Chain A
């Protein structure tokens, strides 16, 4: 009897331990994914904050970054995550060119015009990537791509851990750039109030091109991560733009901190749903979360109401 009770107690303890381990494991997965998502979304929210441009080509630029990284890895043997040092400046330059040639002429046009423009750009980029790299699915396989760290029984995939660490580093640098440099303050000022910033001497045209280029550069770094973490082909951008848009809506359009929080919440919501609800609902439940948040905070978690909103 006593032995049975003891065994029952032991079984119950074992089940509890298993459940706890599972919860910690899933939380780790969610945080690792969320950190990477935060980098994916940072450029998009930055661009919207300053220019009020919803860059639908963001997903296609992400995949372009992944293809560039894949080529560097395949042809030159450069580690995909180290390739960030090449893809980021390359994408910065591309962002600059795209802004000067395509976005700037439509700066004063309604939001819908830039949405259409960037959607068109996404389709063009998809076609160009198809021509250059073909429509075959790719994924880089550095030595650590299928390896994991084991920390007290919790599995931490190496590629995710490295990507997470780099994402945090890049985001920290971005925060410091925005908070500590004159140019960064100008970007924040333009983001908060474009006309006010212009009145105090901020060169809005320069800030805009710089913001767009920085936004595209961050997506270049994110693309390098995609190349290791997920299989991709030119058409993969549809999935990513939907996810990234959700993150910045959840976090509050234009808010970098909001994007980071939204990304982590989305990552956690995905894995918790997969584990505790159903894999079938894993992509739907996070959108329910977004709906609930927006119901109570239409401006998103960290978004601020504009004066026009208050007037309404």
Chain B
């Protein structure tokens, strides 16, 4: 009796397995998944911890992209679902998140996390698992020096070391008496902020602009009065501060506190956060500050107006730059999948991106074989309480560029 039951059980299992194998063999499933089943995209973001501010903005950008795609009929006619995890701004957690998304959750595609610090290990995890990796942040040069095949494809216009190029070119083309003679470079120890400022410093030194202060401060720095006072004592014409958000705010506030207003001020990241920057430093202290930026809500790029409108409808405020970058990552992934017509071969998706230009809300994006973008960043400047684009001329939202900050006059 017992042998009969076991045999019948084995038979049943055999029939089920055979049916599954036959079913799988017969299916004509081009897109690498069950037709009609949603496409799941795995993402890990710093929703808590140090990078939670850009992490949250990126999440909003991804969600707006998902909703837009789904409304338009989905990706390969399948609805898109996002599986988002919180990496708590931690390098170890981001790796375990992506490994779990790929190996346990069996996601179909990936989108990147935020900051070079986290994308560096996260993109390595994607590469090990042979998954295409498209990232909205992560422009540190070393990210693209690893001969990876599956990415990372950085969906901004330029890598970090090129983000100040336009500003430096503009500076060196000013009449000689308007050019700065001396410069100070207080920089956050961050794989994104450092290369921007180092590249600027090198070019300006080559052009004869003397470096009077060049210091790197650690991520955990909270007190900037002492640093601002040291900068003040050197009285530089130009201060170029490589920063993320909080430290950028802290340093700017400290400049005011120690009573120093340089003729020219350039900061990375923080001033691109719109009203969050002016709320942090005070509107009057924003005037004349330069920054590099990848997106502006006023841009006339294809789809930007719709994106901004949708974002404002959903979240009640204009999109931060980080949200727009995340949306652009979605657009890039979408373009590759739709043009290749399948998600089976992730290397084919990567190769397609290497060979093609993608129209995004940031403008057209194209990449080197390494995944580093080929393009130029925009340069913004705060004028009359508003962040304007001043360079390049064809993208400028104003004709005026403030060469000497009013507070320094």
Which segment of A131-139, A250-258, A288-296 sits at the interface? Answer: A131-139
Shortest Cβ distance from residue A167 to the other chain B in the assembled complex, whole angstroms: 15
B215 within 8 A of A: yes
- Assess the A126–B218 pair: CB atoms within 8 A: no
- Specify which of B48, B217, B279 is in contact with A282 (CB 8 Å cutoff): B217
- Specify which of A138, A147, A238 is in contact with B50 (CB 8 Å cutoff): A238
Shortest Cβ distance from residue A241 to the other chain B in the assembled complex, whole angstroms: 12
* Chain B residue contacts of A135, Cβ below 8 A: 47-48, 52-53, 55-56
Shortest Cβ distance from residue A66 to the other chain B in the assembled complex, whole angstroms: 12
Task: Please give me the residue from chain A that is nearest to B256 by CB atom.
Answer: A146
* Chain A residue contacts of B233, Cβ below 8 A: 18, 22
* Chain A residue contacts of B217, Cβ below 8 A: 274, 279-280, 282
Which segment of A194-202, A206-214, A226-234 sits at the interface? Answer: A226-234
Which segment of A25-33, A94-102, A177-185, A217-225 sits at the interface? Answer: A25-33
Shortest Cβ distance from residue A25 to the other chain B in the assembled complex, whole angstroms: 6
- Assess the B225–A29 pair: CB atoms within 8 A: yes
B35 within 8 A of A: no
Taken residue by residue from 104 to 147, chain A's Cβ proximity to chain B (1 for < 8 Å, 0 otherwise) reads as 00000000000000000001001100100011111101000111
- Assess the B225–A137 pair: CB atoms within 8 A: no
Q: Tell me which residues from 69 to 125 in chain B have a Cβ below 8 Å from any Cβ of chain A.
A: 89
- Assess the B52–A130 pair: CB atoms within 8 A: yes
- Assess the B276–A137 pair: CB atoms within 8 A: yes
- Assess the A126–B250 pair: CB atoms within 8 A: no
- Specify which of B55, B220, B227 is in contact with A239 (CB 8 Å cutoff): B220
* Chain B residue contacts of A78, Cβ below 8 A: none
The CA-CA distance from A155 to B249 in the complex, in Å, is 20
Task: Please give me the residue from chain B that is nearest to A240 by CB atom.
Answer: B222
* Chain B residue contacts of A238, Cβ below 8 A: 49-50
A260 within 8 A of B: no
- Assess the B49–A235 pair: CB atoms within 8 A: yes
* Chain B residue contacts of A123, Cβ below 8 A: 48
* Chain B residue contacts of A137, Cβ below 8 A: 53, 245-246, 249, 276, 280
Taken residue by residue from 138 to 181, chain A's Cβ proximity to chain B (1 for < 8 Å, 0 otherwise) reads as 11010001111010000101011000000000000000000000
Question: Most B CB atoms within 10 A — which of A137, A141, A233?
Answer: A137
Instruction: Tell whether A271 pairs with B47 under 8 Å between CB atoms, given A130-B52, A239-B220.
Output: no
Taken residue by residue from 16 to 47, chain B's Cβ proximity to chain A (1 for < 8 Å, 0 otherwise) reads as 00000000000000000000000000000001
Instruction: Tell whether A157 pairs with B218 under 8 Å between CB atoms, given A137-B245, A139-B280, A235-B50.
Output: no
A284 within 8 A of B: yes
Task: Please give me the residue from chain A that is nearest to B218 by CB atom.
Answer: A283
Shortest Cβ distance from residue B268 to the other chain A in the assembled complex, whole angstroms: 16
- Assess the B215–A157 pair: CB atoms within 8 A: no
Tier of interface size on chain B? 35 or more
Instruction: Tell whether A29 pairs with B220 under 8 Å between CB atoms, given A146-B285, A147-B257.
Output: no
- Assess the A279–B50 pair: CB atoms within 8 A: no
Taken residue by residue from 7 to 36, chain A's Cβ proximity to chain B (1 for < 8 Å, 0 otherwise) reads as 000000000001000100110010001000
Q: Tell me which residues from 341 to 355 in chain B have a Cβ below 8 Å from any Cβ of chain A.
A: none
The CA-CA distance from A236 to B53 in the complex, in Å, is 11
The CA-CA distance from A145 to B66 in the complex, in Å, is 42
Instruction: Tell whether A234 pairs with B48 under 8 Å between CB atoms, given A22-B233, A147-B257.
Output: yes
Shortest Cβ distance from residue A145 to the other chain B in the assembled complex, whole angstroms: 7
B186 within 8 A of A: yes
* Chain B residue contacts of A239, Cβ below 8 A: 50, 220, 222
Instruction: Tell whether A146 pairs with B257 under 8 Å between CB atoms, given A22-B233, A280-B215.
Output: yes
Shortest Cβ distance from residue A225 to the other chain B in the assembled complex, whole angstroms: 12
- Assess the B218–A282 pair: CB atoms within 8 A: yes
- Assess the A283–B220 pair: CB atoms within 8 A: yes
- Assess the B56–A134 pair: CB atoms within 8 A: yes
The CA-CA distance from A295 to B191 in the complex, in Å, is 35
The CA-CA distance from A112 to B356 in the complex, in Å, is 56
B223 within 8 A of A: yes
Task: Please give me the residue from chain A that is nearest to B276 by CB atom.
Answer: A136
The CA-CA distance from A190 to B225 in the complex, in Å, is 40
Question: Most A CB atoms within 10 A — which of B52, B233, B249, B285?
Answer: B52
- Assess the B52–A270 pair: CB atoms within 8 A: no
The CA-CA distance from A232 to B217 in the complex, in Å, is 18
A275 within 8 A of B: yes
A205 within 8 A of B: no
Q: B residues near A, CB below 8 A?
A: 47-53, 55-56, 89, 186, 189, 215-218, 220-223, 225-227, 229-230, 233, 245-246, 249-250, 253, 256-259, 276, 279-282, 285
Q: A residues near B, CB below 8 A?
A: 18, 22, 25-26, 29, 33, 123, 126-127, 130, 134-139, 141, 145-148, 150, 155, 157, 159-160, 230-236, 238-239, 242-243, 270-271, 274-275, 278-280, 282-284
Contacts beyond the supplied A233-B53, A271-B223: 15 A-B pairs with Cβ under 8 Å: A25-B229, A33-B223, A130-B47, A134-B56, A137-B245, A137-B249, A138-B279, A139-B249, A146-B257, A147-B257, A230-B222, A235-B51, A274-B230, A275-B230, A279-B227
Q: List 7 A-B contacts (CB under 8 A).
A: A29-B223, A136-B56, A148-B257, A157-B257, A274-B223, A274-B230, A280-B216
The 4 A-B pairs at the shortest CB distance, nearest first, are namely A146-B256, A279-B217, A135-B52, A235-B49
